[in-house]
Chain A
Amino acid sequence: MLVVTKPGLQSTLQAAPRIGYRHFGVPYAGPADELSHALANRLVGNTATTPALEITFGGFEAEVETECSIAVTGAYDQIHISGQTAPAHTTLHLKSGDRIEILPVTRGTRTYLAIATGFQADEAFGSKSTYLPAQLGGLDGRALKAGDRLKSVGSPVLRETRETPVSHRPVFAHAVALRACASAETDLLDEADRKSLFEDTFIAGRQATRMGVTLTGRTLSPMSDGQMKSAPVFPGTIQCPPSGTPVVLLCDAQTTGGYPRIGHIARCDRHLLGQIRPGDQTKLLQRRPEDALRDYAEKRKFLDTWLKP
């Protein structure tokens, strides 16, 4: 059991996305960086979508009440266990009284902390992932507070130490390139704007939540009268409201929206969206859908050499 002493800006329990309820307006949720979440679980012997902690910008502290095995992945600068530096991407065996500190993060946004057998979490609409706007899943559907006790499902000890192969450790910088496809309303952009969308470098705006990241630095002008009929949107959809500042939707993406859908981040790179920080340089690389699917299959095959041995 862990007792949260400092929750950080926003820490939630995330598990599998909430698939199959979008048509009731219920977003997928789940980890903003699905890959780092799966890597953390792998290190403690869990299946990929076992409930684990998602910590935003670090600044998280907890006390260990019973012996346990944990692992930390995703964005991190310094991890301290009872004051000593500890490695990410490695199974950590902790004893009662140990103190876990995830120091503030300066590259990437979200840290994942998994525990052997997984954290207990509420289930809603078939998923244990926290969706804050509707208070679903996780711990009472909310972000963690100081004093919260996080229990594991079973005995949280793994009698083995694992390390993520260096080849499989994501590295976060202040710049990211994302493969993307044209979407339903890309045609509403003129040629210059289309070129700009897929060739220029944008700066991630101050709004960088689990719902969406804005792309600033230049504005686009889709030919729209603001009267488009609300249409389905997904994590990865790039919407362009009349303000001209595109918004890339993330895991908590609303299910429908009325702004032109000018592009769509390819599935193979959607996990990277969860690590974009305000101010990061962001570039889109246009792919044809069939090429993007091939990219996904290749990436999946490579990742599975470690995630599914």
Chain B
Amino acid sequence: MPTRLIPRRIADDVIELQVSSPVEAQTLASALRELVPAEDVIAGLDRVSVQFHPSCAAQIEHALQDVTVENKTKPNSAPPIEIGISYGGEYGPDLASVCEALDLSTDAFIETHTQRVHTVEMIGFTPGFSYISGLPENFSVPRLASPRPRVPAGSVGVSAGFTGIYALNGPGGWPLIGKTDAELFRANNQDPFLLTPGQLVRFRAL
């Protein structure tokens, strides 16, 4: 059954729709990019935001009145991509506190993280930053109270049930558990983004 969505104004030039999963958000965002004259349509993990030029306000409001989303997921048949992580140490300064919060040994955390097949749910924040689901439900740790001003590229964090990989140097609020050498964003490459939503991922301890 398709669900009818209620548009909500979150700024003078942004309307947001709430959905129930990252897959729905990605599907809806792709559809809307074809459907409405927006400046950009961005999927969050459970929202889709449509930013528009003020001259298109009436047209966008009208188009978003009757939007529905199908609650079905496409199975992904492509094999998982492997991403190596150096856990802990200088680039994983929060691994110990994360393990403490989860009441786990470091080894048990790494074992869980590397044994599961994860899914890229969203690219966002900065170019290439990937939100990857697949941690057990109870692996939920909050973001840092104050974001760090400088997080090195390749840093791997966990928050709210997701693994996140910082593709660039920059500020960041996720507790950091390690670092990868994988390049998630290559500006001059024909295909600049290593990961795309829907891609399956396996982590390997380096």
B177 cross-chain contacts in A, Cβ below 8 A: none
B111 cross-chain contacts in A, Cβ below 8 A: none
CB distance from A293 to the nearest CB of B (A): 5
A124 cross-chain contacts in B, Cβ below 8 A: 187
* Chain A residues numbered 240-288 whose CB sits less than 8 Å from any CB in chain B: 241-243, 254-259, 261, 264, 266-268, 287
Report, as a range, how many residues of chain B touch the other chain. Answer: 35 or more
Bound CA span A19–B122, Å: 19
Q: Is A133 a contact partner of B126 (Cβ separation < 8 A)?
A: yes
Bound CA span A232–B22, Å: 12
CB distance from A26 to the nearest CB of B (A): 5
A265 nearest CB neighbor, chain B only:
B11
Chain B 33-72, CB within 8 Å of chain A: the 1/0 string? 1000001111111111101001001000000000000000
B10 interface residue per 8 A CB criterion: yes
B159 interface residue per 8 A CB criterion: yes
A224 nearest CB neighbor, chain B only:
B142
Q: Is B187 a contact partner of A258 (Cβ separation < 8 A)?
A: no
A236 cross-chain contacts in B, Cβ below 8 A: 11
Query: Among the listed stretches B78-86, B92-100, B102-110, B165-173, which one makes contact with chain A, having 4 or more residues with CB under 8 Å of it?
Result: B165-173
Bound CA span A135–B126, Å: 12
Bound CA span A294–B8, Å: 19
Q: Is B44 a contact partner of A231 (Cβ separation < 8 A)?
A: yes
Count A-side interface residues using an 8 Å CB cutoff: 53
Bound CA span A168–B129, Å: 40
Q: Is A264 a contact partner of B14 (Cβ separation < 8 A)?
A: yes
B160 interface residue per 8 A CB criterion: yes
Chain A 205-228, CB within 8 Å of chain B: the 1/0 string? 001000100000000000001111
Q: Is B54 a contact partner of A257 (Cβ separation < 8 A)?
A: no
CB distance from B130 to the nearest CB of A (A): 9
Instruction: Specify which of A124, A255, A261 lies most central, judged by the most chain B CB atoms within 10 Å of its CB.
Output: A255
B41 nearest CB neighbor, chain A only:
A23
A27 interface residue per 8 A CB criterion: yes
B193 nearest CB neighbor, chain A only:
A24
* Chain A residues numbered 160-183 whose CB sits less than 8 Å from any CB in chain B: 181, 183
Q: Is B42 a contact partner of A23 (Cβ separation < 8 A)?
A: yes
Q: Is B127 a contact partner of A230 (Cβ separation < 8 A)?
A: no
B143 interface residue per 8 A CB criterion: yes
Q: Is A266 a contact partner of B11 (Cβ separation < 8 A)?
A: yes
Given contacts A229-B44, A242-B145, A292-B12, contact A134 B127 (CB under 8 A): yes
* Chain B residues numbered 136-183 whose CB sits less than 8 Å from any CB in chain A: 140, 142-143, 145-147, 149, 159-160, 167-171, 173
Q: Is A264 a contact partner of B11 (Cβ separation < 8 A)?
A: yes
A136 cross-chain contacts in B, Cβ below 8 A: 187
Q: Is A267 a contact partner of B54 (Cβ separation < 8 A)?
A: yes
B91 interface residue per 8 A CB criterion: no
Bound CA span A257–B167, Å: 15
Supplied contacts A231-B47, A232-B49, 18 more A-B pairs, CB within 8 Å: A23-B43, A25-B125, A25-B167, A26-B127, A134-B185, A184-B8, A230-B124, A232-B42, A234-B11, A234-B51, A254-B125, A254-B126, A255-B124, A256-B124, A256-B125, A258-B160, A293-B12, A300-B54
